[in-house]
Amino acid sequence: MLIGMASSGIPEPHGGRLINRVVGGDPERITSDRDILRVGISDDLASDVENIADGVFSPLEGFMDHDDLMHVLKDGRLHNGLAWTIPILLDVDSDTGARMKDARDVLLVSKSTVALMHVEDCYRYDKLEIARSVYQTTDPSHPGVARTMAMKDIFVHGRIDLVSRANRDELRRYRLTPAESRRMIVERGWRSVVGFQTRNIPHLAHEMLQKSVLNFFDALFINPLIGRKKSGDFRDEVIIRAYEVLVDNYYPKDRVLFATLHTEMRYAGPKEAIHHAIMRKNLGCTHFIVGRDHAGVGSFYHPFAAQEIFKYYPDIGIEPVFFPAFFYCKRCMGIVSERMCPHPQDYRMELSGTRLRRMITEGERPSELLMRPEVVDVIMQHGDPFVP
Ligand SMILES: [Zn+2]
C-alpha cells in the first residue's frame, strides 16, 4: 500500500499550492443566467482557461494584471518574486473590455469550455514591449512576435472559475491534470520523473535521448504540446498517434507516462524553456529535459540559450537536465550525441524538419536508421500530416 506523499520525490507545485478553480455543483445554474455577459474566446484562450483552472499554471488563478505583466517582462518573475517568464493574457477589443469591466462577472465561452471570469481590471500595454521582452526581438517574421502584435488592444485581469468543458475527445484522450498526473506518479512509486517537452514527431534521435535518462531516473514523462502551431509543423493528431505506436512497440511501460499538454507553442526559446519547466513541475516532474534550441524557431536564439537561462533561476524547483544534440553517426554506427562522437560532421545523418517534410510530400520513406517504421507509417497513412 502506498502511504506517505512525504516520501515521494514530487516537488511542491509552483508557489506551494496546486490551484484548483474547477467549479463543482450545477453548471446549468450559472450558464442559464440570461443577464450575464457572454464573451466568445478562441480555442487557444480556452486551453489556457483550463490550464489555470487545473493548476498547470499554478500559482496563477486568472489572467494576469498589469503589475504581474510588468514584472514578468522586466524581471522574468511575478510581482511576488516567483519565477515566471511568459505572460498569460486575455486580450479583447476596447468595446468588449468596457462591457466586461461594467459587468464584473462574465462568462467566457468557447466551443469546448465555459468559464466564469471575475473581472478586476482592463488595461493597455505596449505590445512591442511585450514582444521585445518575451521573444527578444521585434522582427515580425518571428511567429510569436506576429501573434503578439496581432493581439487585441485591451487585456483583462481577473480570476476565473471553470464551469464546464468538453468530454474527452480524440485530441483530449491523453490530457492529464496536475492532480491526475501527480497521483499516478505517487501510485507508481516513482521518486524521480523526467519531463520531456515536444512539438514534433519522434525521430530515433529523440527516442535515444529520452531513453538515456531511464538509466539514471525512475521514469520518463513524455508530454507533447497540443495546440496552435506554425504552418509546416506536424498536426497534433499525428504527433499523438506517432507516440502511441512508438511507446507501444519500444518503451518499457512501467517506466513511461505519456500525456498531452494543451497550450499553444510560443517559440520563445529560453523564456519558453522556463515556462515549460514550470508547467512540468506542476504536473509532478522532478526533472526536465532541455535540449538544443529548446522552443526556438529559425535562428533567433543561440542553440544553448535555453540551457543558459536556468542559471538565473536556481530557485525554480525543478531540475533541468541539459542535453546536446543527438544524431546518427555512420562510423559510430548508431545514435550518438556530439559529446559521445569524435567523428567529423560528414558522418552524421540527421533529419531536418524541412527535409522530412519534402520526403513525406514526395512519398519517400525516411531511413529506419533515423525513424521507426511504425512512426513513418503513421505519417504516410495520414495523408495531410502538416499544419497548413
Ligand atoms: Zn561517430
| 322-365 tens-digit pLDDT | 999 899 999 999 999 999 999 999 999 988 778 888 898 898 99
* Ion ligand 1 residues within 5 Å by Cβ: 329, 331-332, 341, 343
Residue 25: its pLDDT value, please?
Answer: 64
Cα 275 to Cα 269: distance, rounded to the nearest angstrom: 10
Q: 208: CA distance to ligand 1 center in Å?
A: 15
Give me the domain span that covers residue 235.
171-382
Count how many domains the chain has: 2
CATH number at residue 41: 3.10.400.10
Do 108 and 226 lie in one domain? The reply is no
Supply the DSSP string of 350-366, one letter for each residue. ---HHHHHHHHHTTPPP
Opening angle at CA 350, ends 346 and 356, nearest 5 = 135
Do 280 and 222 lie in one domain? The reply is yes
Does 387 fall in a domain?
no
Do 180 and 137 lie in one domain? The reply is no
Contact 164, 31 (CB under 8 A): yes
pLDDT at 1 over 50: no
Do 110 and 195 lie in one domain? The reply is no
Cα 106 to Cα 35: distance, rounded to the nearest angstrom: 10
Do 225 and 134 lie in one domain? The reply is no
* Closest-CA residue to 232 (of 334, 385, 341): 385
Do 108 and 190 lie in one domain? The reply is no
Does 388 fall in a domain?
no
Do 24 and 151 lie in one domain? The reply is yes
Do 344 and 296 lie in one domain? The reply is yes
Cis bond upstream, residue 314 (ω within 30): no
Does 194 fall in a domain?
yes
Cα 271 to Cα 278: distance, rounded to the nearest angstrom: 11
* Closest-CA residue to 144 (of 187, 224, 89, 197): 89
Cα 230 to Cα 267: distance, rounded to the nearest angstrom: 9
Against a cut of 0.85, is the pTM above it? Answer: yes
Do 262 and 334 lie in one domain? The reply is yes
Q: 207: CA distance to ligand 1 center in Å?
A: 18
Calculate the average pLDDT of the chain.
Answer: 93
Q: Is 198 a catalytic residue?
A: yes
Cα 279 to Cα 86: distance, rounded to the nearest angstrom: 11
Give kind and range of the element (H or E) at residue 196.
Answer: strand 193-198
* Closest-CA residue to 123 (of 79, 88, 157, 158): 157
Q: 369: CA distance to ligand 1 center in Å?
A: 14
Cα 386 to Cα 382: distance, rounded to the nearest angstrom: 10
Q: 305: CA distance to ligand 1 center in Å?
A: 25
Q: Is 199 a catalytic residue?
A: yes
Kindly give the residue spans of alpha helices, DSSP state H, lying in 214-261.
236-250
Which phi and psi angles does 83 have, rounded to 5°?
A: -55, 130
Q: Which of 20, 159, 198, 292 is catalytic?
A: 198
Which residues 6+ apart lie within 8 Å of 311 measured at CB? Answer: none
Do 156 and 180 lie in one domain? The reply is no
- Direct distance between the N- and C-terminal alpha carbons of the chain, in angstroms, rounded to an integer: 50
Q: Which of 20, 31, 138, 200 is catalytic?
A: 200
Q: Which of 21, 175, 199, 241 is catalytic?
A: 199
pLDDT at 43 over 50: yes
Q: 368: CA distance to ligand 1 center in Å?
A: 18
Q: Is 80 a catalytic residue?
A: no
Q: Among 115, 145, 165, where does a domain finish?
A: 165
How does pLDDT run across 55-74, given as a tens digit for each residue?
Answer: 999 999 999 999 999 999 99
CATH number at residue 335: 3.40.50.620
Residue 277: its pLDDT value, please?
Answer: 98
Cα 289 to Cα 307: distance, rounded to the nearest angstrom: 10
- Collapsing DSSP to helix, strand or coil, 330 comes out as coil
Cα 189 to Cα 184: distance, rounded to the nearest angstrom: 9
Does 334 fall in a domain?
yes
Q: 170: CA distance to ligand 1 center in Å?
A: 41
Contact 73, 133 (CB under 8 A): yes
Residue 213: its pLDDT value, please?
Answer: 95
Kindly give the residue spans of alpha helices, DSSP state H, lying in 160-262.
178-187, 204-213, 236-250
Q: Among 165, 195, 219, where does a domain finish?
A: 165
- Collapsing DSSP to helix, strand or coil, 272 comes out as helix
Does 68 fall in a domain?
yes
Q: 344: CA distance to ligand 1 center in Å?
A: 8
Residue 293: its pLDDT value, please?
Answer: 86
How does pLDDT run across 261-311, given as a tens digit for each residue?
Answer: 999 989 999 999 999 999 999 999 999 999 888 888 989 999 999 999 999
Do 225 and 336 lie in one domain? The reply is yes
Does 265 fall in a domain?
yes
Does 30 fall in a domain?
yes
Do 200 and 333 lie in one domain? The reply is yes
Q: Among 133, 148, 165, where does a domain finish?
A: 165
